């Protein structure tokens, strides 16, 4: 049974703080993803990684960075949190290969920046 976990379900931070969101998967998946989910906007890809130490920008990378030092762990970093980064953040992982594979999502972290 695939398990994707995220470090926090709820997080409240102040403007300007550095924020770390962590994601861990236990299925030896090559691909990992960070999305933010806002009402009416669906799931928007922030960054993804298809291998250790590899990272690719998604559709909305501004204000975010990521780190993947180990295969099972993918971290999202907000260098200086701003109120417009208040959102639900979802991590996902998948196998890699031609043709596309199911993405398995974590439970999400609801981040509030005040």
Q: Which positions lie near another protein, rule CB under 8 A?
A: 31, 33, 35, 40-45, 48-50, 56, 58-59, 90, 94-103, 105-108
Calculate the CA 74 to chain-centre distance: 7
Q: At its nearest, how many Å lie between another protein and the CB of residue 4?
A: 8
Cβ proximity to another protein: between 35 and 85 the closer is 35
Cβ proximity to another protein: between 17 and 110 the closer is 110
Q: At its nearest, how many Å lie between another protein and the CB of residue 3?
A: 11
67-86 as b/e: b if 16+ CB within 10 A: bbeeebebbbebeebeeebb
């Amino acid at each position: 049974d695939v398990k994707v976990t995220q470090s926090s379900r709820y997080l409240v931070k102040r403007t300007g703080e550095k924020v770390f969101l962590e994601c861990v998967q236990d299925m030896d998946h090559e691909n990992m993803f960070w999305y933010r989910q806002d009402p009416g906007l669906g799931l928007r890809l922030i960054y993804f990684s298809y291998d250790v130490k590899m990272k690719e920008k998604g559709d909305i990378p501004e204000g975010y960075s990521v780190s993947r030092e180990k295969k099972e762990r993918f971290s999202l970093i907000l260098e200086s949190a701003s109120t417009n980064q208040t959102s639900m953040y979802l991590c996902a992982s998948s196998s890699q290969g031609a043709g596309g594979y199911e993405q398995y999502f974590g439970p999400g972290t609801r981040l509030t920046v005040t």
